[in-house]
């Protein structure tokens, strides 16, 4: 299987346990009385393990944009009482969310990107190919944003092309856009399954693919609907600024678009002077503000992948804040 194919296969695979758990706990270097943030609570697996390492003086603040996740995780973390503060919100507003939770600076932050197994298993959001649910794909279903159905049935061909190419890296976008435009002239494409079947029919030979032929289309739509890449960019910046020096930012991503954003952000912070090489003396005064804890991303061990195949595309990057 090509690397690209492997990368996009994962977000639609159900994840049954927290990914890279031991690696995350080690990377965060948890202090029992510290303040830690889980920006993507999901089922609460990582959050629960972090809380188990905190003393009564420690605090975990957790976010998720999905209201159902908040209800579920609140039940799971209830035994930790006031040591767990749970807030519904998008991590792109991490600074404001932390302020609302009464925290100015924190000691470690986790982002475990993508969908949780609950979002896929129940699949009321139309995230997976077999789903008879309406094409929605909003992670926060209270948000007034266009759904996947709105984009598929209302987006002009140029917009559809942009989504498929930029967010799905889909080389066969022409056939897919043509098929979508033709189909919706007859009747709206309503369910996730209808779209998946249409993509299969639009791509000759698709049935021989090792991943579902609609994988890239679904990934692209989900990213577009939730504006995931911009949310990540903003979330990284907000998170970094709220870290105490010595604090660590851990990000688990599942496809190359996300991983590239994390890598480039860390590299920018890691750099010192950014003056043009021709400048005889530094005028920018910029010094490195982050250290990459490991040069290459950490990936799951073969044993973890065997236990939990959905972990196979995970990549963990960790940055340690050096200074403001
Ligand atoms: C992969 S799951 C996290 C799993 C979790 N670490 C666990 O151990 O169960 C990702 C979660 O992040 C949430 N999410 C994704 N993007 C988000 C964002 N921009 N802001 C807040 N939550 C987000 C999703 O709703 C989902 O519940």
Q: What is the pLDDT of residues 312-324, one digit of tens each?
A: 999 999 999 997 7
3-118+228-321 CATH choice from 3.40.50.300, 3.40.50.150, 3.40.50.2300, 3.65.10.10? 3.40.50.150
User: What lines the ligand 1 site, CB under 6 Å?
Assistant: 18, 40, 42-46, 63-66, 69, 90-92, 112, 114-116, 139, 231
Residue 319, CA distances (Å) to 62, 201, 235 in order: 20, 44, 14
**Average pLDDT of every residue of the chain:** 91
SS3 50: helix
Bigger pLDDT: 240 or 281? Answer: 240
What are the residue boundaries of the structural domains of the chain, listed by start? 3-118+228-321, 146-226
10, pLDDT greater than 60: no
Give the closest residue (by CA) to ligand 1 atom 13: 40
Q: How far is the CA of 69 from the centre of ligand 1 (A)?
A: 8
Which residue has a Cα nearest atom 20 of ligand 1?
A: 90
pLDDT of amino acid 85: 98
The best mutation among 41, 49, 88, 232 to test binding of ligand 1, ranked by most ligand atoms within 8 Å of the C-beta, falls on 41
Question: pLDDT grade, residue 14 (50/70/90)?
Answer: very low
User: pLDDT at position 3, please?
Assistant: 34
Q: What is the 190 CA–ligand 1 centroid distance (Å)?
A: 26
310 or 236: whose pLDDT is higher?
Answer: 236
The pLDDT-based confidence of 120 (bands split at 50, 70, 90) is confident
Average pLDDT over residues 231-253: 98
**Which pLDDT score, from 0 to 100, does residue 91 have?**
98
- Count Cβ neighbours within 10 Å for each residue of 181-193 and write b for 16 or more, e otherwise: eebeeeeebbbbb
Residue 12's pLDDT is 42
Tokens of 149: 């159905």
What is the pLDDT confidence band of residue 1, given thresholds at 50, 70 and 90?
A: very low
Write the DSSP symbol of residue 109. Answer: E
Give the residue, by CA position, lying nearest to ligand 1 atom 2. 116
- Smallest CA-to-CA distance from 40 within 228, 183, 289 is with 228
Give the chain's end-to-end CA distance (angstroms, integer).
43
Residue 207 confidence (pLDDT) above 80: no
Query: Looking at the predicted structure, is the pLDDT value of residue 6 above 70?
Result: no
Q: And the tokens for 57? A: 């003086």
145: phi then psi, degrees, rounded to nearest 5 = -130, 155
pLDDT at residue 49 greater than cutoff 90: yes
For 136-184, the pLDDT digits (tens) are 999 998 899 999 999 999 999 999 999 999 999 999 999 999 999 999 9
Q: Which pLDDT belongs to residue 304?
A: 95
Under CATH, which architecture does the 146-226 domain have?
Orthogonal Bundle (1.10)
Q: What pLDDT does 16 receive?
A: 57
């Amino acid at each position: 299987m090509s690397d690209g194919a492997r990368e996009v296969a994962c977000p639609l695979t159900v994840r049954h346990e927290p990914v890279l758990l031991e690696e995350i706990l080690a990377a965060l270097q948890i202090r029992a009385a510290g303040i830690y943030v889980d920006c993507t609570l999901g089922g609460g697996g990582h959050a629960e393990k972090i809380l188990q390492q905190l003393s009564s003086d420690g605090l975990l603040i957790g976010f998720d944009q999905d209201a159902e996740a908040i209800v579920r995780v609140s039940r799971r973390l209830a035994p930790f009482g006031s040591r767990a503060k749970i807030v519904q919100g998008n991590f792109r507003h991490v600074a404001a969310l932390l302020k609302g939770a009464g925290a100015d600076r924190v000691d470690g932050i986790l982002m475990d990107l993508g969908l949780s197994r609950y979002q896929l298993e129940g699949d009321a959001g139309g995230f997976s190919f077999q789903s008879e649910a309406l094409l929605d794909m909003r992670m926060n279903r209270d948000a007034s944003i266009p759904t996947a159905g709105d984009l598929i049935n209302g987006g002009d061909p140029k917009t559809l092309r942009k989504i498929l190419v930029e967010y799905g890296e889909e080389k066969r976008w022409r056939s897919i856009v043509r098929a979508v435009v033709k189909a919706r002239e007859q009747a709206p494409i309503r369910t996730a399954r209808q779209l998946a079947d249409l993509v299969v029919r639009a791509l000759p030979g698709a049935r021989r693919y090792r991943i579902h032929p609609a994988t890239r289309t679904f990934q692209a739509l989900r990213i577009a609907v939730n504006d995931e890449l911009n949310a990540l960019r903003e979330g990284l910046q907000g998170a970094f600024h709220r870290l105490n020096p010595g604090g660590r930012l851990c990000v688990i991503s599942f496809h190359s678009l996300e991983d590239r954003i994390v890598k480039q952000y860390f590299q920018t912070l890691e750099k010192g002077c950014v003056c043009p090489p021709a400048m005889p003396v530094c005028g920018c005064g910029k010094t490195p503000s982050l250290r990459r804890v490991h040069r290459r991303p950490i990936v799951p061990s073969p044993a973890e992948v065997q236990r939990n195949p959905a972990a196979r595309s995970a990549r963990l990057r960790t940055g340690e804040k050096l200074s403001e």
